[in-house]
Amino acid sequence: MTVHAAQLGRFLEDFVVGDVYQHPFGRTISEADSTWFTLLTCNTNQNHFNADLARSNPITGGRIIVNSGFTVALVLGLSVIDTSQNAVANLGWTDIKLVHPVYVGDTVYAESLITNKRESGSRPGMGIITMVTRGLNQDGVDLVTWTRSVMVPQRSSGIGQNYFPQATSGPLTAP
């Protein structure tokens, strides 16, 4: 019997500059998602929750527009499984560009291009990955882009590994 240990994410040595990760999940945005995020962040711009007022917005074609903070957070979240599942720190985002509106009912996807990789000069066993990430809608239209840097461990650090508990009752067996 082979036991496949619980493990997600990548380590510094797994990344190659120039590789593109098409992140595996897409997420369709519901009206509840958009409204809840807007309420949680105290964003009072009614274009995010007032359909009557939104009809007068010439940019959105009269539709409720999804809070751009939610769009950024969602695209970031979609990228985590491939780029920062094992990260120990986000180091920064630059050049965030919101290039197309997102609406309730849109499905958002993300992909990231690794643009730089280096060992950390101040944290042994760590490295820094820089990437360009973009969000796309269901039609392949760019929604948002940015550059992001994260600190990720080297595999030898042990971080993100061997965290599954040892069963006190012994190995799992068939009945």
φ/ψ of 57, rounded to 5, equals -85, 115
Average pLDDT over residues 146-164: 91
Q: Which residue has the tokens 């849109």?
A: 106
At 40 the pLDDT is: 94
Binned at pLDDT 50, 70 and 90, residue 163 comes out as confident
Binned at pLDDT 50, 70 and 90, residue 62 comes out as confident
Average pLDDT over residues 36-51: 92
Average pLDDT over the chain, rounded to an integer: 92
Q: For the chain, how long is the longest CA-to-CA vector?
A: 65
Q: Indicate if the pLDDT at residue 66 is higher than 60.
A: yes
Binned at pLDDT 50, 70 and 90, residue 2 comes out as low
Running DSSP on this structure, what letter comes out for residue 35? H
Q: Indicate if the pLDDT at residue 158 is higher than 90.
A: no
Domain covering 12-155 in this structure, CATH number: 3.10.129.10
The domain limits of the chain are: 12-155
